[in-house]
């Protein structure tokens, strides 16, 4: 069964300047292929039939490159942000919105996550939003002290590691979740999650343990280009 997706591609990508002075972040090349090409290729191969690209900054370049989506076997439509709407604000204005559970994702991530498995697990749950999640380990570069109120040392940990479950920037949405996105106002995804939880509406995590890279900084962009040859087969692109 096919599915639909909203790909968020309207940000300025300021952390990747000066590259993003001339290209929107989703069109930056990974081994001479735009990031967005890799994203659309994976969506198409997993059965996506329609993609709505939410564009803003330098959006005309994305529209020129992607066109109607024919080269990927997709139907691509565009939502053009007249003003920045945050990471999910555009969802309230997209018409028509998918009528069954759909994928929402950033246009600058590399992963071998199965969108089909994400949607299947989401549909079997009682959640309205499922957040694709990844375990990341962060190592402190300093010794960490634990002390009591009097300053007496209770424990000393040299460069401890901390494990976090982080959002991959990929989500499964029920159309009903968009009810909490205000029409025409800026809203970021964490704010929507807070609204969902306050309203007692279901949000779940879908843990992915394989490959994921968010290309948001210069070192991530360099890493993606360094690793691409070795992960290309895994990504299926």
Instruction: Tell me how crowded residue 52 is: count the other CB atoms within 10 A of its CB.
Output: 24
pLDDT averaged over every residue in the chain: 94
Phi, psi of 166 (to 5 degrees): -115, 155
pLDDT for 19 equals 81
pLDDT for 118 equals 98
Taking the CA atoms of the chain, what radius of gyration do you get in angstroms? 19
pLDDT for 25 equals 93
The answer to the question of residue 120 being in a domain is yes
pLDDT for 195 equals 98
Domain that holds residue 98: 3-134+165-235
The answer to the question of residue 67 being in a domain is yes
Mean pLDDT of 124-145: 93
C-alpha to C-alpha distance for 7 and 27, rounded to whole angstroms: 13
The answer to the question of residue 155 being in a domain is no
Q: Return the H-helix or E-strand segment holding 162.
A: strand 161-173
pLDDT for 141 equals 85
Q: Kindly state the greatest CA–CA separation across the chain.
A: 68
The answer to the question of residue 95 being in a domain is yes
Prediction pTM value: 0.90
pLDDT for 188 equals 95
The answer to the question of residue 172 being in a domain is yes
Distances (CA, A) of 191 to 15, 86, 103, 176: 22, 10, 18, 16
Q: What is the CATH number of the domain that holds 93?
A: 3.90.550.10
Contact 181, 223 (CB under 8 A): no
Coarse DSSP helix, strand, coil percentages of the chain, rounded to the nearest 5 percent: 35, 30, 35
Strand partners, 6: 52, 104
Please give the DSSP secondary-structure letter assigned to residue 186: -
Mean pLDDT of 102-127: 97
Question: In 35-160, at which residue ranges do the beta strands (DSSP E only) sit?
Answer: 48-55, 75-80, 102-106, 109-111, 129-139, 143-147, 153-158
Which tokens go with 102? 């759909």
Q: How far is CA 64 from the centre of its chain?
A: 22
Strand partners, 173: 102, 129
The answer to the question of residue 154 being in a domain is no
> 14 pLDDT band (50/70/90 cuts)?
confident
The answer to the question of residue 143 being in a domain is no
What is the number of domains present in the chain?
1
pLDDT for 55 equals 96
C-alpha to C-alpha distance for 157 and 144, rounded to whole angstroms: 5
The answer to the question of residue 99 being in a domain is yes
Instruction: Tell me how crowded residue 164 is: count the other CB atoms within 10 A of its CB.
Output: 10
Mean pLDDT of 40-44: 97
């Amino acid at each position: 069964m096919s599915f639909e997706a909203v790909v968020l591609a309207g940000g300025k990508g300021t952390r990747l300047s000066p590259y993003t002075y001339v290209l929107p972040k989703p069109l930056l090349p990974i081994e001479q292929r735009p990031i967005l090409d890799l994203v659309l290729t994976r969506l198409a191969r997993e059965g996506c039939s329609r993609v709505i690209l939410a564009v803003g900054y330098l959006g005309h370049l994305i529209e020129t490159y992607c066109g109607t989506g024919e080269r990927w076997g997709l139907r691509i439509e565009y939502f053009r942000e007249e003003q920045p709407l945050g990471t999910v604000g555009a969802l309230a204005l997209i018409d028509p919105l998918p009528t069954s559970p759909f994928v929402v994702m950033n246009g600058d991530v590399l992963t071998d996550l199965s969108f089909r498995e994400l949607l299947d697990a989401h549909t079997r749950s009682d959640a309205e939003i499922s957040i694709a999640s990844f375990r990341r380990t962060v190592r402190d570069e300093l010794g960490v002290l634990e002390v009591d109120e009097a300053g007496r040392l209770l424990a000393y940990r040299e460069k401890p590691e901390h494990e976090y479950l982080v959002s991959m920037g990929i989500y499964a949405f029920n159309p009903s979740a968009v009810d909490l996105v205000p029409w025409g106002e800026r809203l970021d995804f964490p704010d929507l999650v807070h609204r969902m939880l306050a309203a007692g509406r279901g949000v779940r995590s879908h843990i992915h343990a394989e490959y994921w890279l968010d290309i948001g900084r210069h070192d991530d962009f360099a890493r993606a280009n360094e690793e691409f040859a070795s992960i290309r087969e895994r990504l299926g692109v």
